Structure 1
Amino acid sequence: MFTVKVPATSANLGPGFDTLGLALQLYLELKVTIIPQSTRIRFFVDGEEYPEEIFGDNLVYQAMKKVFAEAAVVEAPGLELTINSSIPPGKGLGSSAAAIVAGLYAANEILEKRFTQEDLISWAVEMEGHADNVVPAVAGGLTTAMLYRGNVYYQQFTFPPELKLVVAVPDIQISTDESRQLLPKKIDFMDMVNNLQRASYLLASLIKHDFRYLPAAMDDVIFQPRRKQLIPGFDRVFSQALGNGAVGVALSGSGSSIIAFCQQEEKRVAEAMQDAFAASGIQSQLMILAADPDGVKVLR
């Protein structure tokens, strides 16, 4: 028996669209028990067993099947799979990436680590579609990723430990596909230049622990202005977070969660963000987290 533990992720961080990502101390855990002399697979989610016709489409299961297929395994061993996840789905916190990474790493563990981390990342990006979520889930910390000629390349950095992360999760569910439909097919040249400057400055600022101009560096001018129309109270939440002590704020992934970076006053910032959503008639949950430095772990 072993457990695969995968962190939630926050992608984009403002201007770093499909590039920057951050692993969070919020987890999906997949417990795997191998059943000898059996080929049956039992599947549990938060303590409830699901029949095969339902869990067949589950991303954990699909990812495991991907690895077994790549290894030319004709018949997988009998398994008992138990998922417990604290990552809310459809909130821009990488729930899909976490499920895919968990399944890939679980199957690879069963196969005695036959495949490399590069193999698993490549398949995860193929399945999930976004390296900025997959890479921090695997590597942990703050990451920047790129796709080049069919390959995934990334760098990982230590996220400043003095920064706490306030995540406001509104009672609004947004699919990535729905959010991407709002994105422009063409981008103004100067908007592109502004975002490129800010993403570069943001990464350098976090590496150097210099937070003076994070509000400016995280001010995306291309993607968030379009996506915010799906989130009532968006502008108020941003302004209240910054006005109550946050050093930076961004939409988390495709939303609807909003993440704020805080050196101090994280409880005050959290309450201000929740009050701002409430003023627009939206209930929200709050989480005060730290960055996860390690990424996916296999625990025995």
Structure 2
Amino acid sequence: MLTVRTPASTANLGSGFDCLGLSLPLATTLRLWPAPETEIKPLGDLLRGTPAGPDNYVYQAMEVVASAAEMPLPPLHLEIESEIPLARGLGSSAAALVGGMVAANEVLGRPLSRTELLNLASREEGHPDNVAPALLGGFVVATFDGKAAQPIVFQPPETLGVTLLIPDFTLETAKARAALPSEYSRADTVHAVSHAALTAAALASGELDALAGAMQDRLHQPYRAALVPGLERILAGAPAHGALGAALSGAGPTVLCFHRAGGSTAGLHAFLRGVLEAEGLHGQVLDLTPDREGTVVRGTFDENP
């Protein structure tokens, strides 16, 4: 049996729109083995209602690799499980895409390199901010010119912890993108470039006290705030309750707070839950450490054991 584990991811981290991402230890797991005919089984509550046939997004990702490699996929049994809530800004589609692509590449005998897989995934998503950390792990700064991604990966400091506020409601990426303006002022553009660069530098250097200021944003968070009740209050107030910095995770509605690993997050949890309650919402608050491995493959797919 072949097993492929692909982690969740959080993107943007403030002003790093479509280019900054961090891998998180919630995973989509695929299990595959040869079968007389192809069978696709999404498992678990989070995937209830997702397609159980060739129109499943994971299998479609596998077909993208088969087409690029000009090789047919053999009949197979595919089971899909996920810990990543859908449409919450945690890279669930990127994990499905990358996991499916890596699985297909293994099934077909690895015709494509990891660089080629990343380029394919970036083309499918349109940007590399989620697919790069999902594939490579750690913190990733990446660009994409429409054909090739250029990532730089480094491991976040051991002292960095992550707190997620995951509301119970969903927010489709297309709706969140539709809220953004088509043009920005020069001042907002300079603000975005400088703050994205400072965020990356703070995480790379371990100078975490710079994050609260570095993660300020004018590109997307102000325009998406109306779609995420309580977002403005969290972004403004989280640092006073123990957060190193706060940001909308991807397109939302999940909100990310960095904290110092090993320290108490009780005050931060109480603050986040208080915001939820004030907005009449429900959700969960999780403490995590960044994922450092990216996509992991175990076992083999052998049509002729």
Asked whether the two chains share a fold, i.e. TM above 0.5, the reply is yes
What code does the residue aligned with 1:71 have?
A
Q: What is the CA–CA distance in structure 2 between the aligned matches of 1:207 and 1:159, rounded to whole Å?
A: 7
CA change 1:296–1:53 in 2 (3 A) is closer
C-alpha displacement of 1:65: 1.0
C-alpha displacement of 1:213: 2.2
Specify the alignment match of 2:303 in structure 1. none
Q: What is the CA–CA distance in structure 2 between the aligned matches of 1:85 and 1:23, rounded to whole Å?
A: 15
2:75 pairs with 1:64:
no
Specify the alignment match of 2:6 in structure 1. 6
Q: Deviations over 1:269-290 (max 9, x none)?
A: 1232122111111111111111
CA change 1:237–1:53 in 2 (3 A) is closer
Are the aligned partners of 1:8 and 1:94 in contact in 2 as well (CA < 8 Å)? yes
Specify the alignment match of 1:245 in structure 2. 242
Aligned equivalent of 1:81, options 78, 82, 85:
78
Q: Report 1:182-197 matches (<5 A).
A: 182-197=179-194
C-alpha displacement of 1:149: 5.9
Q: What is the CA–CA distance in structure 2 between the aligned matches of 1:262 and 1:285, rounded to whole Å?
A: 17
Q: What is the CA–CA distance in structure 2 between the aligned matches of 1:231 and 1:223, rounded to whole Å?
A: 12
2:24 pairs with 1:24:
yes
C-alpha displacement of 1:161: 1.7
Aligned equivalent of 2:135, options 138, 142, 150:
138
C-alpha displacement of 1:53: 7.2
Aligned equivalent of 1:90, options 83, 87, 91:
87
Specify the alignment match of 2:215 in structure 1. 218
Are the aligned partners of 2:50 and 2:56 in contact in 1 as well (CA < 8 Å)? no
Q: What is the CA–CA distance in structure 2 between the aligned matches of 1:199 and 1:52, rounded to whole Å?
A: 35
Q: Report 1:1-300 matches (<5 A).
A: 1-35=1-35, 38=36, 40-46=37-43, 54-74=52-72, 76-148=73-145, 150-263=147-260, 264-300=263-299
CA change 1:248–1:53 in 2 (3 A) is closer
C-alpha displacement of 1:151: 1.5
Are the aligned partners of 1:5 and 1:297 in contact in 2 as well (CA < 8 Å)? yes
Q: Which runs of 5+ in 1 are unaligned?
A: none
Q: Deviations over 1:37-82 (max 9, x none)?
A: x2x11111125999997532221000111112223234x3221111
Q: What is the CA–CA distance in structure 1 between the aligned matches of 2:266 and 2:290, rounded to whole Å?
A: 17
Deviates more, 1:45-54 or 1:157-166: 45-54
What code does the residue aligned with 1:245 have?
G
Q: What is the CA–CA distance in structure 2 between the aligned matches of 1:161 and 1:50, rounded to whole Å?
A: 36
Are the aligned partners of 1:45 and 1:84 in contact in 2 as well (CA < 8 Å)? yes
Q: Which runs of 5+ in 2 are unaligned?
A: 300-305
CA change 1:241–1:51 in 2 (3 A) is closer
State the superposition RMSD in angstroms. Answer: 1.9
Q: What is the CA–CA distance in structure 1 between the aligned matches of 2:156 and 2:209, rounded to whole Å?
A: 16
Q: What is the CA–CA distance in structure 1 between the aligned matches of 2:240 and 2:48, rounded to whole Å?
A: 46
Q: Deviations over 1:94-136 (max 9, x none)?
A: 0000000011010110111111111111111122222101100
Helix, strand or coil at the partner of 1:132:
coil
TM-score, normalized by length of structure 2? 0.92
Are the aligned partners of 1:244 and 1:265 in contact in 2 as well (CA < 8 Å)? no
What code does the residue aligned with 1:26 have?
L
Helix, strand or coil at the partner of 1:28:
strand
CA change 1:30–1:204 in 2 (3 A) is same
Q: What is the CA–CA distance in structure 2 between the aligned matches of 1:100 and 1:149, rounded to whole Å?
A: 17
Are the aligned partners of 2:62 and 2:104 in contact in 1 as well (CA < 8 Å)? yes
